[in-house]
């Protein structure tokens, strides 16, 4: 089971697990039910999805079936999903209500703007900022209506965050979900979010497809051997030890269990080694979005 101290207290006082379960590319009722069953048994209580992933309804059905099996109820799990970039602005309220319907639950714990841009709008167009603002206003409305408990963003740079914070319509973002792992981390973004009380949540916390694999890195392997941990555990603990939330994904029972067993400490000299690895971004880059 997950260590009970790996949690984050949101501004509302509610508790959010630092270790969640990612569901990107997991599709189909059979796959989701089997995988979430293992995740719940292992101790995961936060589940991350998105409209873009096309699996909200399958997750909703799986949790309806599985929560009673594990003697849990809706309040025992934290469900988060995201606004599709194609639904920024005027379509955002309808989209969030559709996500709520798909997930078949009374409320969503955390709803994020998935991307600072909008499909069909040029990256450099000022319309992006206007659409983001419109989406945020609709999300604030949904919080006031009790449809959503908390709101946040994903893939936001400091520039995007400053724009939002200058006019947040009464509610600050509680989370910024970004690519974050030893091969890609931004100290200035980390410091800014920490200063603003915004929790960084890492997607692709184990890296992603590319020419270099973090788990094959010589230094990572050396640290894992020294600590008698898997390379994945070392990489994930590196983020958690910075109080950064993570949402690793796996369909393998062994990895589902080991990825949540992070109640250990990486020595400071080894943390510095992990910070010093050559940087390589795997996923989409929001810097180009106006």
User: Across the chain, what does the average pLDDT equal?
Assistant: 95
Q: How confident is the model at residue 78 (pLDDT cuts 50, 70, 90)?
A: very high
- Within 8 A by CB and 6+ apart from 134, the residues are 88, 89, 90, 92
- Name the pLDDT band for 282 (thresholds 50, 70, 90): confident
Tens digits of residue pLDDT in 163-196: 999 999 999 999 999 999 999 999 999 999 999 9
Angle at which helices 158-166 and 187-196 pack, to 10 degrees? 20
Task: Judge whether 252 and 180 are in contact, CB under 8 Å.
Answer: no
Residues 71, 7: Cα–Cα separation, whole Å: 21
Binding site feature residues for substrate:
114
Whether pLDDT at 5 is above 70: no
Catalytically annotated residue among 44, 53, 93, 203: 53
DSSP state of 206: T
Residue matched to tokens 């260590």: 3
Note the pLDDT tens digit of each residue in 247-275. 999 999 999 999 999 999 999 999 999 99
**pLDDT confidence tier of residue 214, bands split at 50, 70 and 90:** confident
- SS3 category, 17: strand
pLDDT tens for each residue of 112-136: 999 999 999 999 999 999 999 999 9
The tokens for 191 are 């410091």
Rg of the chain over Cα atoms, rounded to whole angstroms, equals 18
Percentage with pLDDT > 90 across the chain: 92
Q: Which helix (H) or strand (E) holds 270?
A: helix 268-275
As beta bridge partners, residue 184 has: 181
**Is 107 among the residues known to form the active site?**
no
Residues contributing to the annotated binding site: 114
Which pLDDT value is given to residue 212?
63
For residue 1, what pLDDT band results from cuts at 50, 70 and 90?
very low
pLDDT of residue 4: 40
pLDDT at 210 over 70: no
CA atoms of 97 and 252, how far apart (whole Å): 32
Give me the mean pLDDT over the 197-218 stretch. Answer: 86
Contact assessment for residue 99 and residue 76, using Cβ atoms and an 8 Å cutoff? no
Spatial distance between the Cα atoms of 245 and 226, rounded to a whole number of angstroms: 24
Domains of the chain: 7-209+243-250 (3.20.20.100)
What is the value of pTM for the model shown?
0.96
CA distance 278 to 271: 14
Distance of alpha carbon 289 from alpha carbon 126, whole angstroms: 9
| DSSP bridge partners of 177 | 154, 201
């Amino acid at each position: 089971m997950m260590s009970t101290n790996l949690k984050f207290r949101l501004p509302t006082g509610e508790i959010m697990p630092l270790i969640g379960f990612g569901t990107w590319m997991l599709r189909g009722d059979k796959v989701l039910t089997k995988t979430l069953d293992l995740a719940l048994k292992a101790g995961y209580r936060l589940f991350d999805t998105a409209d873009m992933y096309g699996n909200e309804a399958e997750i909703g059905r799986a949790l309806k079936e599985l929560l009673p099996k594990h003697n849990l109820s809706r309040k025992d799990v934290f469900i988060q999903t995201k606004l599709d970039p194609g639904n920024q602005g005027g379509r955002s309220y309808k989209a969030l209500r559709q996500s709520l319907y798909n997930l078949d639950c009374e409320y969503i714990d955390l709803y994020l703007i998935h991307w600072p841009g909008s499909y069909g709008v040029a990256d450099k167009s000022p319309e992006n900022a206007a659409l983001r603002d419109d989406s945020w206003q609709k999300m604030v409305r949904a919080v006031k209506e009790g449809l959503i408990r908390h709101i946040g963003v994903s893939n936001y740079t400091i520039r995007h965050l400053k724009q939002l914070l200058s006019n947040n319509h009464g509610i600050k973002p509680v989370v910024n979900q970004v690519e974050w792992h030893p091969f890609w981390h931004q100290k200035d973004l980390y410091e800014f979010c920490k200063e603003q009380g915004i929790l960084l949540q890492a997607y692709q916390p184990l890296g992603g497809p590319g020419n270099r694999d973090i788990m094959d890195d010589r230094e990572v392997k050396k640290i894992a051997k020294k600590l008698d941990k898997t390379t994945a555990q070392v990489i994930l603990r590196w983020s958690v030890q910075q109080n950064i939330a993570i949402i690793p994904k796996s369909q393998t029972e062994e990895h589902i269990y080991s990825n949540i067993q992070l109640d250990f400490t990486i020595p400071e000299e080894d943390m510095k080694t992990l910070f010093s690895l050559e940087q390589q971004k795997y996923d989409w880059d929001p810097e180009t979005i106006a």
